[in-house]
Structure 1
Amino acid sequence: MQITLDDPASAPRPLSPYYSQVARVEHGDGSALLFLSGQIAEGATLAEQSRGVFETIAALLKAHGATLADIINIRTYLTDITALAEYGAVRGEFLTGTPPTSMTFEVSRLFRAEALIEVEVVAAVPGTE
């Protein structure tokens, strides 16, 4: 097993130098698990931020040969759980297949005051061997 930490140049830069965007855990058969750091995005509304988050996640996955369809687990942190339906509608635009395992939490705040949402995912990349 090999672990690689990465900040793909083709995706938005991390907001801090203190973390990596992706941890790739390689298995001997060419398959890998991708662990993405929590993602936030700019925007005035939860829907705008949610779209930005999923666009960033898609770019990070693409840099490692994966797509949104490869997500197997998603964790969402909302600053207002009553907005779950609004988030869910945007999530449904991006995750169109069988839904991954999921947890959603309400938190009092995120590391940026303007952030309404943060999403982290785990994806499974099939082997090519």
Structure 2
Amino acid sequence: MQITLGSPASAPQPLSPYYSQVARVEHADGSALLFVSGQIAEGATLAEQSRGVFETLDALLKAHGASLADVINIRTYLTDIGRLHEYGAVRREFLTGTPPTSMTFEVPRLFRPEAQIEVEVVAAVSPRPAA
């Protein structure tokens, strides 16, 4: 098993130098688990921030040969759980297959005061085809 930590240059860069955006845990057969740090995004509304978060998550996963279809677990942090339906509508635009396992929490605030949402995911990457 090999573990690689980092922030892919092809994806939006982290807001702080104090964390890696992705931990890739590679197995001998070429399969991997991707642990993606919580992401926030700019925007005036919860829907705008949610879209930005999913676009960033998608870019981070693509940099590792995965997609949002490979997400097996999602954790969402909302500053107002009463607006879960707004987030849920955007989430369904991006996660269109069988829903992953999920946890959603209401929190009093996030890393940036203007952030209304933060989302982290775990994705499973299939083994690479033999050459």
Q: TM-score, with normalisation over the residues of structure 1?
A: 0.99
1:13-92 matched pairs, under 5 angstroms:
13-92=13-92
Question: What 5-or-longer segments of structure 1 have no aligned partner?
Answer: none
Corresponding residue of 2:97: 97
Give me the whole-angstrom Cα distance separating, in 2, the residues matched to 1:73 and 1:13: 22
Deviations 1:43-102 (A, max 9, x none): 000000000000000000000000000000000000000000000000000000000000
Q: TM-score, with normalisation over the residues of structure 2?
A: 0.98
Give me the whole-angstrom Cα distance separating, in 1, the residues matched to 2:109 and 2:92: 24
Give me the whole-angstrom Cα distance separating, in 1, the residues matched to 2:35 and 2:20: 10
| 3-state SS of 1:37 partner | strand
Cα shift at 1:127: 0.4
What is the count of residue pairs matched by the alignment? 129
| 3-state SS of 2:23 partner | strand
Corresponding residue of 1:4: 4
Identity %: 84
Give the letter aligned to residue 4 of structure 1.
Answer: T
Cα shift at 1:6: 1.4
Give the letter aligned to residue 70 of structure 2.
Answer: D
Question: What 5-or-longer segments of structure 2 have no aligned partner?
Answer: none
